[in-house]
Amino acid sequence: MRLSVRTGHVIAALLVGLVTPGCAMDVHGTAPAPVDSVVKSGQWGGQHIAMTVARSRTDIEFDCGKATVSGAIDTDRNGAFTATGTFLQERPGPTTPDGAAQRPMRLSGTVDNDNMQVKVVLTDRNEDVGTFRLTFGGAARLIKCR
């Protein structure tokens, strides 16, 4: 079977498109935001927040709460991320044996080298916990509500 030069070029272009990840299109005809990296593992700190990031889990401590995200936090090529997890409200004084219920939350933000901005929203009631700025290796400045 003999192919024309033009047909060979078309087939080659199709093959390149299939094996090049950056050329993939979603159902709307736009390129999806590829996972470019993950948030750097280690301690992140800022005003009213401390974050310990690992590939398997991220633990976050606030002035009056704690949160957990399972798994790594993926970022796109612009450093943007969105992750879900659970939030546990802390209160001053004695607690009940059952304690407060964990609530679903969403983290969204951006990472730029050693700087991060993150917004925390409790998704069951669309409650904004706040927007925080963190620095990799920076000290957390928490004012515990205990």
The domain ranges of the chain are: 33-136
Q: What is the pLDDT of residue 7?
A: 54
22-58 burial, b if ≥16 CB within 10 A, otherwise e? eeeeeeeeeeeeeeeeebeeeebbbebbbbebeeeeb
Which pTM value belongs to this model? 0.72
The pLDDT tens digits for 13-42 are 444 444 444 444 444 455 555 567 999 999
Closest CA to 108 of 118, 97, 95: 118
Q: What is the pLDDT of residues 64-95, one digit of tens each?
A: 999 999 999 999 999 999 999 999 998 776 66
Angle at 43 between CA 37 and CA 146, to 5 degrees: 130
Judge whether 39 and 53 are in contact, CB under 8 Å.
yes
Mean pLDDT (the chain, rounded): 83
SS3 of residue 10 by DSSP: helix
